Amino acid sequence: MNPPKLLLDENLSPSIALTLTREGYDVVHIRDRGLLQATDAQVFARAFAEDRIVVTFNCDDFKKVGQAATVHAGLVFFEDSGLLRDEQLDLVRKALGHIADELTAGRDMINRVLRIWSDSAHVTEWGIRWGIAATVLGISPDAKVSSQTAQGQFAGRRG
């Protein structure tokens, strides 16, 4: 089981990535990747290329990007806004704890979304999109695909 790798969106403090990296986590901020002026789709593509879970307050836009994707490493949506840096850090730690629980239970974050509020959290699973994307993956567009199949496709992409 690989530990989670996170990519923090621009609406989180870059110092969170530094703090968590010092604590042994694999967390980077989009600033570290030269993506401060990037579109959400570009951020999402970089996260996919690096097998990272995107962590963001920008839930609406990343929901659209994520649902349009064939497969992704996962998303973490923070549903509270206007938080101070220390409160953001607490939420990222909370997310890491929930992701660790999912991994321990044998579930990864592939095509899944962890929604976190200050007082609760919920994981949802999205099916992968069909049409051209299914053809690219070599799956019949008429097939019903389970989470395990999506995970296999993603793991196969990692090589």
Tokens 């890491």, residue located: 96
Structure confidence by residue, pLDDT tens digits, 52-88? 999 999 988 888 898 888 889 999 999 988 899 999 9
Of the pLDDT bands very low, low, confident and very high (cuts 50, 70, 90), residue 25 is very high
* Per-residue pLDDT, 119: 84
In a domain, 35, yes or no: yes
Q: Could you tell me if residue 147 is inside a domain?
A: no
Q: Find the Cα–Cα–Cα–Cα dihedral 151, 152, 154, 159, rounded to 10°.
A: 140
84: in domain: yes
For the sheet with 5-8, list strands across it. Answer: 26-29, 5-8, 53-56, 75-78, 112-117, 120-125
Judge contact between 12 and 31, C-beta under 8 A: no
What distance in Å separates the CA atoms of residue 44 and residue 69, rounded to the nearest whole number? 9
Q: 123 is in which domain, residue-wise? A: 5-127
Looking at residue 129, its pLDDT comes to 41
Q: Please give the structure tokens belonging to residue 69.
A: 């994707």
| Total-model pTM | 0.78
CA 109-115-116 angle, to 5 degrees, is 120
The reply to whether 31 falls in a domain is yes
Residue 2: its pLDDT value, please?
80
Q: pLDDT at position 94, please?
A: 94
Query: What is the model's pLDDT at position 127?
Result: 54
Q: Is residue 136 part of a domain?
A: no
Within a domain: 30? yes
Tell me: pLDDT of 12 over 60.
yes
β-strand partners of 29: 8
In a domain, 58, yes or no: yes
Confirm whether 144 is domain-assigned. no
For the stretch 80-138, pLDDT in tens is: 888 999 999 999 999 999 999 999 999 989 999 999 988 888 888 765 443 333 333 34
Return all residues near 60 (Cβ < 8 A) that are at least 6 apart. Answer: none
The domain tally of the chain equals: 1
Q: Could you report the per-residue pLDDT of 29-49, keeping only the tens digit for each?
A: 999 999 999 999 999 999 999
Nearest residue to 98 (alpha-carbon basis) of 121, 75, 118: 121
User: Higher confidence at residue 53 or residue 140?
Assistant: 53
